[in-house]
Amino acid sequence: MHLLLTGGAGFIGQHVLAALLRRGHAVRVLDSLRPDVHRAEQAWTPPAGVELHRADMRDAAAVEAALAGVQGVVHLAAKVGLGVDIGDMPDYASSNDAGTAVLLAAMARRGVARLTLASSMVVYGEGFGLCPEHGAVRPAPRREAALAAGDFEPPCPHCGRSLGPDLVQEAAPPDPRNAYATSKLAQEFYAANWARSTGGAVAMLRYHNVYGPGMPRDTPYAGVASIFTSALRAGRAPRVFEDGGQRRDFIHVRDIAAATVAACERHGEGVAAFNVGSGTPRTVGEMAAALSRALEGPAPLVTGEYRLGDVRHITASSERLRQRLGWQPEVGFEAGMAELAQAPG
């Protein structure tokens, strides 16, 4: 296919671009190269044969031009991060939601009928937990007094007991808890509106915690794996918040790229959301320890610090993606962490 890849110069975007090219697709990249993502000393040059349109997603004329002749869009461009500062809300809403709306309107005008959208597991908030008395429940909000006392587990909303782990399915009700999460969910709704109005197909990929070579370091876009690695490279112990028991699903960026390409190629009808994770939950403490081993650095320092807006646990089932699109993750946790630790800084 002839595809437009938005955000193709970013961390995930470069891996998706490489995977698309290996599969023989013709790819055009649209990227703003905004400085809070792309450092000045890290200028990006597209691979041979790839046309780069440098423009903001909110520039309707530029988006329209970038769509000329394409058969599908892989939409990765977004302002990322936690979005915990209320002052960030306008930029998230404008960059992510207005930008996506501009893209979708232009796709409708151009008759482009296939969209693969990079969403995020953050749309679920705390997801679900298992109460010994009440079964699967949505966790009640964590209270600051409990966090200050070192009680980090989210409580059952009915009896207050600490909840056990559960895997979130795509049908779970969303519960976005910060500006970034809200903007990603809004992107999904806009994409579903577009698909139903035009008859187009959209695959919404809810990425879990992505890591791997090329991950940005020491920027608002850096994931916790990158932050830990930066500390270890400087000879400092990685600082782990809470008690280190926060459960996540860390997935290698090459597996993310493979899932994105599979959705682009194989999902050709209707609207569907797909969780994209390794299927093996790990704790933040385990990840910090794996990086410390790989870099032969100091052991992680568990600080007990917390941020009120942080999600304690979020792990989801990726069975729908495996069964419908035939995707399987290939990079193991220890091998992937070792590769990340040794990647150029």
Concatenate the DSSP letters of all residues of 65-87 into one string.
Answer: HHTTT-SEEEE-----S---SGG
| Helices (H), ranges, the chain | 11-22, 60-66, 89-92, 99-110, 144-148, 179-198, 224-233, 253-266, 284-295, 319-325, 333-342
CB 117 within 8 A of CB 188: yes
Average pLDDT over residues 111-124: 96
Distances (CA, A) of 135 to 139, 154, 163, 279: 11, 14, 9, 22
Inform me whether the pLDDT recorded for 73 exceeds 80. yes
Residues 181-196 have pLDDT tens digits of: 999 999 999 999 999 9
Phi and psi of 342, rounded to 5°? -95, -5
Q: What are phi and psi of 286, to 5 degrees?
A: -65, -40
Confidence of residue 84 (pLDDT cuts 50, 70, 90): low
Tell me what the mean pLDDT of segment 57-66 comes to: 97
What mean pLDDT comes out for the span 112-125? 95
Which range is least confidently modeled, 146-160, 217-231, 265-279, 288-302?
Answer: 217-231
Q: Are 252 and 211 in contact (CB under 8 A)?
A: yes
CA-based nearest residue to 273, from 202, 180, 178, 327: 202
Dig out the tokens for 50 from the structure: 């790839």
d(CA 243, CA 252): 24
Q: Give me the torsion for CA of 92, 95, 101, 107, rounded to 10°.
A: -140
pLDDT of residue 241: 96
Q: Is 169 exposed, middle or buried (0-12, 13-18, 19+ CB in 10 A)?
A: middle
What is the pLDDT of the chain when averaged over all its residues?
Answer: 92
Instruction: Work out the pLDDT band at 318, boundaries 50, 70, 90.
Output: very high
Quote the pLDDT of residue 216. 78
Please report the pLDDT score of residue 224 as a whole number. Answer: 84
The Cβ of residue 109 has, within 10 Å, a number of other Cβ atoms equal to 11
- What is the pLDDT confidence band of residue 308, given thresholds at 50, 70 and 90? confident
Angle of the 253-266 helix axis to the 11-22 helix axis, nearest 10? 50
What does the alpha-carbon distance between residue 2 and residue 309 come to, in Å, rounded to a whole number?
Answer: 41
Q: For residue range 241-268, what is the model confidence (pLDDT) as tens digits?
A: 999 999 999 999 999 999 999 999 999 9
